[in-house]
Amino acid sequence: MDFSFAGDHDTDRFAWFAEGLKATMESHGHSFVPDPDTAELVVNFFPESRPRAYRRKGQAVFVTGVSELSPPFEEPIPQGYPYLVRSLSNLFIGLVPSDADAPDVHFLTLEQGHYVVEGNHDRSAYFDRVYRRIEPLATSSLVINNTFDPDLPEELWDGDELTEQIYRAGRKLDALNLLPAPFPIEEILSERELKHVKKLYGIGGLSYGNISARKDDTRFWMSASGVDKSDLREVGRDILLVKDYDPGRRAMVLSVPPDIEPRRVSVDAIEHWMIYREHPEVGAILHVHAWMDGVPSTDFNYPCGTYELGEAVAEIVRQSPDPARAVVGLRNHGLTITGTSLDEIFERIEGKLQQGVPMS
């Protein structure tokens, strides 16, 4: 993947970090391009007092925001997450002064994950560890486009027994306190920035987790992106019918009711599509930001909505003794759980879920 720098990367504050990161990324086979508008990964540097967004020219561009942060930095999520949102980044890097030659590097992800590369005196090892946290972005491809076909049969406009199951599943997650509220980005972003986010991702908020249920051999119902998962009622807005994947456009193909402005389906739809197509015995899939002990996990913290995350999860489901009842850990992210139905999934996991995901 080609990469570039934007913002204040040539100032004394950031030049040393940009130089070290550039050399390390090039040593791993990435190509630096001077014009960020031609890059697939943009590292955007900005001062702590003025988080600035890099305006992507397309959806398939990843952005990593970088800023120096004043100590003490003791509450990473509440202190650091607003910088990620304000800079419209996929990943935020906060550089916090340390006793070593280099600062501690705090990473914040959209899933509210947090992990640290501590400052040390070995420059090569330091930047190699920084790169390993960026590598999933630098090697991934997004599948977040949607194609909406207004061909949903009329008898499904108000849903069916499967959409009712999805509604009940959302209520159960809420009762288990496993549904963080959609992140209030409208309180952080300006109206202009919010419009840019909607244009890029088709969302009005950040929410976590998703629910799906198989309709037939080729279609499945799935919760929408950026909605309150505890109140999934309206077809086309809260729950959508996925009928295919278009690899040429990297787009999920959806059946929606006519005369409705639909929301986009969850960004994890490509992952669910892979699993349903390969395993006819899988009847439902649940994704939560929680954890269970002793589960197999993906090796990389791939971003949500990427083909690579879908492949990594599908591979572990494939290796499971019973793919129809698999539990897969997504590193620094959460769990994907397959089942014969949503009710069966909840029966299996009752009392086993741990709130919070261990970061590593």
The angle, 0 to 180 degrees and rounded to 10, between the axes of the packed helices 269-278 and 307-319 is 30
Hey, is 48 helix, strand or coil? coil
Structural domain contains residue 291: yes
Chain segment 234-291, per-residue pLDDT in tens: 999 999 999 999 999 999 999 999 999 999 999 899 999 999 999 999 999 999 988 9
Within a domain: 255: yes
pLDDT band at 335 (very low <50, low <70, confident <90, very high): very high
Residues 216 and 114 in one domain: no
- Does the pLDDT value for residue 190 go beyond 90? no
Mean pLDDT of 197-212: 65
| Residue 331 pLDDT | 84
Band (pLDDT 50/70/90 cuts) for residue 180 is low
> Which one-letter amino acid corresponds to residue 113?
G
Q: Of 138, 156, 171, which marks where a domain is finished? A: 138
Both 115 and 162 in one domain: the answer is no
- What is the rounded distance in angstroms from the CA atom of residue 170 to the CA atom of residue 178? 10
Residue 273 lies in a domain: yes
Give the span between the Cα atoms of 327 and 338, in whole angstroms: 7
Q: In this structure, are 349 and 259 located in the same domain?
A: yes
Using pLDDT thresholds of 50, 70 and 90, give the confidence band for residue 186: low
Name residue 299's beta-bridge partners. Answer: none
Q: Over the stretch 102-136, which tens digit does the pLDDT of each residue have?
A: 999 999 987 777 889 999 879 999 999 999 999 99
Residue 197's pLDDT band (boundaries 50, 70, 90)?
low
**What is the amino acid identity at position 245?**
Y
Query: Residue 328 sits in a domain of what CATH number?
Result: 3.40.225.10
Q: For residue 13, what pLDDT is reported?
A: 84
- Whether 73 has a pLDDT exceeding 60, the answer reads yes
Calpha distance 83→173 (Å, rounded) = 29
360 located within any domain: no
218: left (phi over 0), alpha (psi -120 to 50) or beta: alpha
Domain of residue 83 covers 2-138
Q: Are 296 and 328 in contact (CB under 8 A)?
A: yes
Tell me what the mean pLDDT of segment 196-221 comes to.
Answer: 76
- Is the model's pLDDT at 326 over the cut of 90? yes
Distance CA 103, CA 105 (A): 6
- Considering the domain architecture, whether residues 132 and 235 belong to the same structural domain is answered as no
CATH number of the domain bearing residue 30: 3.40.50.10300
pLDDT tier at 185 (50, 70, 90 boundaries)? low
149 and 61 fall within a common domain:
no
Burial class (CB in 10 A: 0-12, 13-18, 19+), 187: exposed
**50 domain residue, yes or no:** yes
Answer whether 105's CB lies under 8 Å from 21's CB: no
**Same domain, yes or no: 283 and 178:** yes
pLDDT of residue 179: 74
pLDDT of residue 300: 82
- Per cent of the chain over pLDDT 90 is 68
- Domain ends where: 138, 168, 198? 138
Please report, rounded to a whole number, the percentage of residues in the chain having pLDDT higher than 70: 92
How many domains are contained in the chain?
A: 2
Residue 276 lies in a domain: yes
134 with 149, same domain?
A: no
Asked which of 89, 110, 138 is the last residue of a domain, the reply is 138
- Mean pLDDT, rounded, of the chain: 90
